[in-house]
Structure 1
Amino acid sequence: MGKVLAVCISEKRGIQKQNVGTGIFSPDWGIEGDAHGGHWHRQVSLLSADRIEAFNRQGAGVIPGAFGENLVVEGFDFSSLPVGTLLRCGGVLLEITQIGKECHKHCAIYQKTGHCIMPREGVFARVLEPGSISQGDEMTVEERRAPLPWQAAVITLSDRGARGEREDKSGPAIAGRLRDAGYEVVETLLLADEAEPLRRQLVRLCDQRRLDLILTTGGTGFAPRDVTPEATLAAAQRSAPGISEAIRAASLKITPRAMLSRGVSVIRGKTIIINLPGSPRACQESMDVFLDTIPHAMELLRGTAGDCAR
């Protein structure tokens, strides 16, 4: 159980939030009057009061809202809670959607102290049920009535697609099939064939959004700008070669050109990343290979799987 110490908002982005004492929380939006509200997954930001206190003992002298956080709560180590955790405060129900954030530019606090706690300690949530939250209100973790659905992202790599010169058909087809299989597809991205932007997105989706599965499409061949496997390996912590080997083995029964696919499969944290070919048909044929089997691997990573033996 925790206690809310501050409720902070700002009318404009990029400025320090101010403690207003009470906030009205709207589903699929956030706090009324706060510039960071919207139809996205980072509607409300939360920070543990003890993390701020420890930071201030180093001479920072920050007040609630200085890190851009909406809620300062004592009694919780938010960064230790998994994505999908439900937080109840009065009538308001929040769901944690992201742990930490990428720091695009160093804030005034970083310039003063040399570091900032929000990128690693702050968490973000979306509003599921409405109500108001005020200073002094109690916050608790609420048990989920059903397991968190498998969460996935789809990334298309295509220079022409990123320039708007060609319609992306593979990405939407992959996302649609995942949704039909019960997945929650939380992000779909269309990127140019460049290694470093892809590596950064993979790291963000694994480390902050803590997804179960990321599927990429495109950039797995022999062309000079086909760098998807290299970017994926740069983001990886462990290899999962059997998945891509199985895809190639099945594809070789369809076309000998399958041997030219350089796609890889890897693990980062608790996320599986699988490279798929660029064509919509080949993507579907590849998904035929692993879609029924991959949930067991994700259960193992979540720590919810039973015995593998049969």
Structure 2
Amino acid sequence: MGKIKAICISEKRGTRKKVVEKAKLVENWGIETDAHGGTWHRQVSLLGWEDIEAFKARGAKVDFGDFGENLVVEGLDLQNILVGSRFRIGEALLELTQIGKACHTHCEIYQSMGECIMPKAGVFARVLKGGWIHPGDEILLEPLRGDQPFTAAIVTLSDKGFAGEREDKSGPTIRDMIEKEGYVVVEMGLLADDQAALEAELRRLADQRQVNVIFTTGGTGFSVRDVTPEATIAVCDRMAPGIAEAIRSYSMMITGRAMLSRAVSGIRKRTLIINLPGSPKAVKESLEYILPHLGHGLGILRGTEGECGGQVH
């Protein structure tokens, strides 16, 4: 249980927000009069009162709204709440969508203190149900439920695709297939075959968006530019080799060239990362084989499903 300490809004993005006595949350938009409202995943920003107080104790001269936060909340360990959890405030309902954010331009606070707490301590949510909110309102945390759909991100690796010389057909193939199985695709991206760029994207999707599974497509062959496996290994805490082995084993029954795949699969925190082939045909064949078995593992990974004691994992 937490509570709202302050509500802050601004008319323009990138500016400090002013404190208001009440605000109206609008479904799938955000705060009615705030510049950050929109049909995207970062509709409302939240920052812990405890984090602000600790920052002030280090000498920072800041007040509510100075970090660009919408809600200052007390009593919730925001950074350790899983994405997908929900905050109920009276009739209103918010869903946590992102932990922290990248800071591309250093604000005045950073210039004076050498740091800013919002990029690491701030979190973001979207509005599932609207309603009026006020300072002092209680916030009820509703943890992830087992019946919530799994979230996914898709990253296509292709120099030609990134340069606009080739249409990406594999990414949409993945999207269509997993959406039919009930997955919610929260992001799709297209990158050049660049290891550093892919590592950064995988970290962002796993750490900030906390998607349940990331599917990559392309970059798993013998070309010098094929670095998807190396990027995946670099960011994973643990490997899950059985998935990549299963794809290769199944694909070998279709074509002997499947032995040339260097694809891997692994886990970063609570996110599963799976390398898929680059061609739409091979993507389809791989997903048809592994999708029926992924749900149990993903449920265990996010903590909404238990191990089966009578089976070997």
Question: Runs of 5+ in structure 2 lacking a partner?
Answer: none
Aligned to 2:5: 5
Q: Which runs of 4+ in 1 moved over 3 A?
A: 142-146
Query: Which letter does structure 1 place at the counterpart of 2:36?
Result: H
Aligned to 2:151: 151
What secondary structure sits across from 1:161 in the alignment? helix
Aligned to 1:266: 266
What secondary structure sits across from 1:102 in the alignment? coil
1:239 matched to 2:239? The reply is yes
Cα deviation for residue 144 of structure 1 reads: 6.6
Q: RMSD in angstroms over aligned alpha carbons?
A: 1.6
Query: Which letter does structure 2 place at the counterpart of 1:162?
Result: F
Query: Which letter does structure 2 place at the counterpart of 1:271?
Result: T
> In structure 2, do the counterparts of structure 1 residues 199 and 308 end up closer, same or farther at CA, with 3 Å as the change threshold?
farther
Aligned to 2:221: 221
Aligned to 1:204: 204
Provide the rounded CA distance (Å) in 2 between the counterparts of 1:132 and 1:162: 44
Could you list the per-position Cα deviations for residues 44-84 of structure 1 after superposition, in whole angstroms to 9, with x for gaps in the alignment? 00011111111111111211111111000112221121111
Aligned to 1:16: 16
Aligned to 2:253: 253
1:306 matched to 2:303? The reply is no
Provide the rounded CA distance (Å) in 2 between the counterparts of 1:267 and 1:90: 37
Query: Which letter does structure 2 place at the counterpart of 1:165?
Result: E
What secondary structure sits across from 2:104 in the alignment? coil
How is 1:68-147 mapped onto 2 (pairs within 5 angstroms)? 68-142=68-142, 147=147
Query: Which letter does structure 2 place at the counterpart of 1:306?
Result: E
Provide the rounded CA distance (Å) in 2 between the counterparts of 1:55 and 1:26: 31
The total of aligned residue pairs comes to: 310
What secondary structure sits across from 1:292 in the alignment? helix
Provide the rounded CA distance (Å) in 2 between the counterparts of 1:139 and 1:246: 45
What secondary structure sits across from 2:4 in the alignment? strand
How is 1:49-60 mapped onto 2 (pairs within 5 angstroms)? 49-60=49-60
> In structure 2, do the counterparts of structure 1 residues 145 and 274 end up closer, same or farther at CA, with 3 Å as the change threshold?
closer
Provide the rounded CA distance (Å) in 1 between the counterparts of 2:89 and 2:146: 20
Mean Cα deviation higher: 268-277 or 217-226: 217-226
> In structure 2, do the counterparts of structure 1 residues 20 and 149 end up closer, same or farther at CA, with 3 Å as the change threshold?
same
Could you list the per-position Cα deviations for residues 220-249 of structure 1 after superposition, in whole angstroms to 9, with x for gaps in the alignment? 111222111111112111111111111111
Could you list the per-position Cα deviations for residues 157-180 of structure 1 after superposition, in whole angstroms to 9, with x for gaps in the alignment? 112222222221111110111111
Mean Cα deviation higher: 299-308 or 1-10: 299-308
Provide the rounded CA distance (Å) in 2 between the counterparts of 1:278 and 1:184: 22
Provide the rounded CA distance (Å) in 2 between the counterparts of 1:206 and 1:145: 19
Question: Runs of 5+ in structure 1 lacking a partner?
Answer: none
Mean Cα deviation higher: 62-71 or 141-150: 141-150
Could you list the per-position Cα deviations for residues 280-299 of structure 1 after superposition, in whole angstroms to 9, with x for gaps in the alignment? 11001111222111222212
Provide the rounded CA distance (Å) in 2 between the counterparts of 1:242 and 1:103: 37
Mean Cα deviation higher: 2-11 or 300-309: 300-309
Provide the rounded CA distance (Å) in 2 between the counterparts of 1:305 and 1:142: 19
Cα deviation for residue 145 of structure 1 reads: 7.2
Aligned to 2:180: 180
Aligned to 2:167: 167
What secondary structure sits across from 1:293 in the alignment? helix
Provide the rounded CA distance (Å) in 1 between the counterparts of 2:26 and 2:254: 51
Cα deviation for residue 216 of structure 1 reads: 0.5
Cα deviation for residue 153 of structure 1 reads: 0.6
Cα deviation for residue 142 of structure 1 reads: 3.8
Cα deviation for residue 106 of structure 1 reads: 2.4
Query: Which letter does structure 1 place at the counterpart of 2:141?
Result: V
CA contact (8 A) 2:87 2:142 kept: yes
What secondary structure sits across from 1:28 in the alignment? coil
Mean Cα deviation higher: 9-18 or 262-271: 9-18
Provide the rounded CA distance (Å) in 2 between the counterparts of 1:17 and 1:139: 21
Could you list the per-position Cα deviations for residues 191-232 of structure 1 after superposition, in whole angstroms to 9, with x for gaps in the alignment? 121111111110011011111110000111112221111111
What secondary structure sits across from 1:116 in the alignment? coil
Mean Cα deviation higher: 182-191 or 113-122: 113-122
Cα deviation for residue 30 of structure 1 reads: 0.8
Cα deviation for residue 260 of structure 1 reads: 1.1
